[in-house]
Structure 1
Amino acid sequence: MYTISPLDKSDYQEMIEVWEGSVRATHDFLPESRILELKPLILDQYFDAVQLFGVKEEGRILGFLGIHETDIEMLFIHPEARGKGVGKTLLLHAIEDLNCTKVDVNEQNKQAVDFYLYMGFQIAGRSPLDGQGEPYPILHLSLR
């Protein structure tokens, strides 16, 4: 249904727009100040730390995936593409083709938690703080 291709630095600007739109659609627990703090970190550091793959349609990025070893580090879908199989396609690529078995997700992002549980992940642990030490609990999920 969708074709997945590697993404690179030339895609970063469009990816950060997809990231921001996705976060605003799903992370309603984050204050505006936190989104603005995270945006340059994602753009200037986090994209460079992972292998990136995306789904494009008519040249536009509908969603993207970032992995490191067997960890899914990021999976973000353009708000207009949500519910159309883009996330599932990218996640199955990560699992079946890239041997990913773990993902961390904000506990307060109920839609993402439900999605990963539906796709076969289970809760393996919980941290009360996010990766930057902020009070946004993280669930550590792994495949059954």
Structure 2
Amino acid sequence: MSTSEGLVLRPCEGETEWPALVRIWRSAVEATHDFLTPEDVDFYESRMLSDYLPAVELTVAEVEETPVAFSGLAGNSLEMLFVDSTCRGHGVGSALLSRAIEHHPDLRLDVNEQNPQAVGFYQHYGFVVVSRSATDGDGRPFPILHMGQSAVGAAGTPIGLS
């Protein structure tokens, strides 16, 4: 797959498109969240349509009119970014993240500490850990790293991330 040609980022078309986004989510989670049990994945999937997707402004990445990834923003917070497992490593996630940063230079995000690929992805784009929570937003035992983009001071210390 070549995403340099034919990648389109667009607003989500609404609830009718959500089932496709849930399929992308599940593909991405199964490829990257090996710390989750199948029951955990089912738990989170059961909340996608009712709780998670309605709470964010969704951007869909598509190739040849087929959704392959999506991101969700709530203000300046990137609440979700998922790429179908067959499209990982082709620049789709980078395009979604760049779009979010373009619209929100003060972008913040949360990422599962147990997902080192995602942590590394965000660090590659200049995000640093601002704080850590021992549990996720549902109170489950999955540590979350809260990240923000760093302005690095002369001594190499992140500044402006209080």
TM-score by length of 2: 0.86
2 CA distance for matches of 1:98 and 1:42? 24
1 CA distance for matches of 2:76 and 2:34? 28
Paired letter, 1:6: P
1:80 partnered with 2:86: yes
- Structure with more helix by fraction: 1
| CA distances 1:61-99 after superposition (whole Å, capped 9, x unpaired) | 111000000000000000010000000000000001244
Deviation >6 Å, runs of 4+: none
Paired letter, 1:24: E
Paired letter, 1:45: D
Query: Which stretch of structure 1 is more off in the superposition, 51-60 or 93-102?
Result: 93-102
Report SS of the residue matched to 2:25.
helix
1:6 partnered with 2:18: no
Asked if the contact 1:72/1:103 (under 8 Å) is kept, the reply is yes
Paired letter, 1:80: T
1 CA distance for matches of 2:64 and 2:75? 30
The alignment's C-alpha RMSD in Å is 1.0
Asked if the contact 2:106/2:148 (under 8 Å) is kept, the reply is no
Report the identity percentage. Answer: 38
Asked if the contact 1:72/1:100 (under 8 Å) is kept, the reply is no
Paired letter, 2:118: A
Asked if the contact 1:103/1:142 (under 8 Å) is kept, the reply is yes
Residue in 1 that maps onto 2:22? 16
2 CA distance for matches of 1:85 and 1:136? 27
Paired letter, 1:124: V
Cα gap change, 1:100 to 1:76, in 2 (>3 Å): farther
1:26 partnered with 2:32: yes
Report SS of the residue matched to 2:90.
coil
1:41 partnered with 2:22: no
Report SS of the residue matched to 1:3.
strand
Corresponding residue to 1:137 among 130, 139, 143: 143
Paired letter, 2:132: R
Asked if the contact 1:94/1:100 (under 8 Å) is kept, the reply is no
Question: CA offset at residue 19 of structure 1?
Answer: 0.2
Question: CA offset at residue 100 of structure 1?
Answer: 5.1
In structure 1, stretches of 5+ residues that fail to align are none
Q: Give 1 or 2 for the bigger CA radius of gyration.
A: 2
